[in-house]
Structure 1
């Protein structure tokens, strides 16, 4: 990915691509990853963030990560010297991208392509660092169990969201009683099996919706009998219908992030 200096404190990495995957890598600098359009996912050993354009991901210096998109995406990554950043998280975190922050990111990217006044670059950089805001992590997460057999079962369920795996079927796959499986699952993920399975479907649905697929196609691909059943689940989980969630009102550019957290 091309790197361009935007100021004496920030380097901009630009990527406009279809089905992009960076491979796992690290940076000496901290990184702010923001999708101008499309949806980008950032994966670390702790989990995966699926980030639409109203949020960005903060990746501290030295954290191994992979950046990926399953469809067309435009994103900008700002590499920031950690010595210049005080009081910001030492772990990966979600950044709220309000309209001002978005414009500052775009201005830095433009300055990287067409360098102008050094003073302007410094002022934009200072404003950007002051504007960074880290909201509480949304309660939409999908923990991955440490228990090896259970982790493989969860991976299999995620790979085939149409299949309705019952609690009894899941317990049988691990040669456990229903009650023992329920205790293990709760201990490993902090969720009930039914809740985890619904979250897994919702995560898959978000990526498909972001790719522009219809609600009907997404509902069927995620194992729901009808668009209305899917939309009802979506609204219960996120407080908005799918169309409202991905709407782009004036002054805003998208929707909330999804955190897939590994334990």
Structure 2
């Protein structure tokens, strides 16, 4: 059943307008860079998911989802046990949906509608199923776009720094040292980070660190170990940044998935 739906999702047949999947994974799963004709909305009931494109990446907690337009190359992987859902939208229906990848905050109605659609069989929707499909599309159009993503800079020198920080978020080098390492002036580095990502260098680095922290915490690592591995001098400093950005402490964040 799942394999048949994956095959249908990868195509762009006129019917059905959506194809929904629900899966429970107990272990790490990774999908390399790929694309398909349908747009894709992916979210979770439990766990954590990382998805990305050449231009940025997203860490997706249980109350959010990532939207990817049709033909958008992307990759993804899960962290530990997850209950994941995906909704693939026909290319024609994508015309009224966001044109760029983004993260949205999902409503309970959207999640439950996708889960109901995941039980459908066959390639033709009856009247009731069509109404549910329209609810999914309406909820997706109305969902607030959330900025918790990590855009990548285009400048090759800045991209070199960004990738090094993603590989080792706990690296303690300052902005002046990174500028010298990449062969760019500190002033140019600071200016271009803002113009190309929308974030200052410091804000981008904090965002990258927090995304990595979410991944490590979802995989079961202790908060103290995560804080030290990511270069924080104290546990309290890490918890303060986490709470300031996400509204709750790390322990509370993973105790109350939606």
Return the match for 1:131 from 127, 139, 153. Answer: 139
The CA deviation string for residues 120-162 of structure 1, in whole angstroms up to 9 with x for no partner, is 3223222222222331332x44332222233212211222222
- Of residues 81-90 and 54-63 in structure 1, the stretch that sits farther from structure 2 once superposed is 81-90
The CA deviation string for residues 151-207 of structure 1, in whole angstroms up to 9 with x for no partner, is 212211222222211123223213455445434544444433322222221111111
Residue 67 of structure 1 corresponds to which residue in structure 2? 76
CA contact (8 A) 2:104 2:146 kept: no
Residue 34 of structure 1 corresponds to which residue in structure 2? 43
Residue 105 of structure 2 corresponds to which residue in structure 1? 96
1:24 aligns with 2:24: no
- In the aligned structure 1, how far is the partner of 2:93 from the partner of 2:227? 46
Q: CA RMSD in A?
A: 2.9
More helix by share: 2
- In the aligned structure 2, how far is the partner of 1:186 from the partner of 1:223? 23
- In the aligned structure 2, how far is the partner of 1:143 from the partner of 1:84? 26
Normalising to structure 2: TM-score of the pair? 0.82
Structure 2 residues not aligned, in runs of 5+ = 10-14
1:211 aligns with 2:219: yes
Superposition pairs for residues 169-184 of structure 1, below 5 Å?
169-184=177-192
1:105 aligns with 2:106: no
Structure ranking higher on relative contact order (CA contacts 8 Å, 6+ apart)? 1
Structure 1 residues not aligned, in runs of 5+ = 254-263
- Of residues 15-24 and 95-104 in structure 1, the stretch that sits farther from structure 2 once superposed is 15-24
- In the aligned structure 2, how far is the partner of 1:248 from the partner of 1:62? 34
Residue 150 of structure 2 corresponds to which residue in structure 1? 142
Normalising to structure 1: TM-score of the pair? 0.80
Superposition pairs for residues 1-263 of structure 1, below 5 Å?
2-4=3-5, 8-17=16-25, 18-84=27-93, 87-112=96-121, 118-132=126-140, 133-138=142-147, 140-248=148-256, 253=258
